[in-house]
Amino acid sequence: MISLQAKYIEDIQVAHTGLEHAVAEIYSTYGHKVRINRKSLHKFGRYEQLGTAKTAITYWGGDPIRSATNSITHFSSTDAADDQVLRVEGMTISGGMLTFVAQNITLNGQTKTALATPLARCMRIANVLSVTETTGDVYVYEDDTVTGGVPDTATKIANLMPAEYQSTQFAGTSVAQTNYFIVSNYWVFLNKKQTAAADIEFRVGAAGLGMRVATVGSLNNNSQITHAADPYYIVPPNADLHIYATANTTGVDISAGFAGYFADIVE
């Protein structure tokens, strides 16, 4: 019988082999030499009211903004007393090229407040810098009229941090011009006990272009998809990836996510 320690070592060796193959494939396909040692990523999202229309898995059930300009400019909370410092991660764009930016924001309740650095993408909002949780939901959005801290136009929402999670629920991300993203696995769950089915699309697209389906799946009746990519799926620089879902009925509670490794271009 194989020992737990030996199995652990075997699993690590397999993972390293997969990454080594991905590095070699990046060079042979794209001509870039890359380094994998800086950062991994776990990304996840939930939408509790999925219906029969194809929808990106975000907490508010809308498509995240993929702007050709740095049009994402403001933030606010739905609670007038919120004054926490939050972390916002996103991308700026210049000449069609995406650059990763992280910035701290200080909430001013329901008052619309400008971001220090306007964004073309907003991948994450998280309360990782404050002792207290926000009471309200926090929105980052394109400039809009705001009612009670909520943008009046749903299509202007770039991302949303619900108070109950203190982190965004967006099953997607973007990749900067200086990186590749190597996807090692993804998962999708139908939450709670519900009689429903859903089709899943993992979509990838270069910034400024449409998104294509990279892989598909289906699940039903409280089932799940857990997919370990072999070989790993390579997302090139300057691209977006989102998980979409379509249900056979309304009010379906679904969650999804993926994990992988960033590979920095060194030459």
- Mark residue 148 as left, alpha or beta (left: phi above 0; alpha: psi -120 to 50; beta: remaining): left
Q: Please, what are the domains in the chain?
A: 4-57+172-265 (2.60.120.340), 72-161 (no CATH)
Closest CA to 251 of 9, 49, 73: 49
Cβ 243 vs Cβ 225: under 8 Å: no
Does residue 9 surpass a pLDDT of 50?
Answer: no
% of the chain residues with pLDDT over 70: 94
Q: What is the pLDDT of residues 27-47, one digit of tens each?
A: 999 999 999 978 899 999 999
Q: Note the pLDDT of residue 10.
A: 41
Does residue 104 surpass a pLDDT of 90?
Answer: yes
% of the chain residues with pLDDT over 90: 81
Q: What is the pLDDT of residues 145-177, one digit of tens each?
A: 999 999 999 999 999 999 999 999 999 999 999
Tokens of 261: 């490794």
Tokens of 129: 């810098």
Tell me the pLDDT band of 227, cut-offs 50, 70 and 90: confident
Q: Note the pLDDT of residue 7.
A: 42
Tell me the pLDDT band of 15, cut-offs 50, 70 and 90: low
The residues near 119 (Cβ < 8 Å, ≥ 6 apart) are 70, 72, 73, 88, 90, 91, 92, 101, 140, 158
Segment 91-102 shows an average pLDDT of 98
Segment 52-64 shows an average pLDDT of 95
Q: What is the pLDDT of residues 178-201, one digit of tens each?
A: 999 999 999 999 988 788 999 999
Indicate whether this model's pTM tops 0.75: yes
Does residue 235 surpass a pLDDT of 90?
Answer: yes
Closest CA to 244 of 52, 37, 71, 81: 52
Tell me the pLDDT band of 14, cut-offs 50, 70 and 90: very low
Q: Note the pLDDT of residue 188.
A: 94
**Other beta carbons less than 10 A from residue 137's beta carbon:** 21
Q: What is the mean pLDDT of the chain?
A: 92
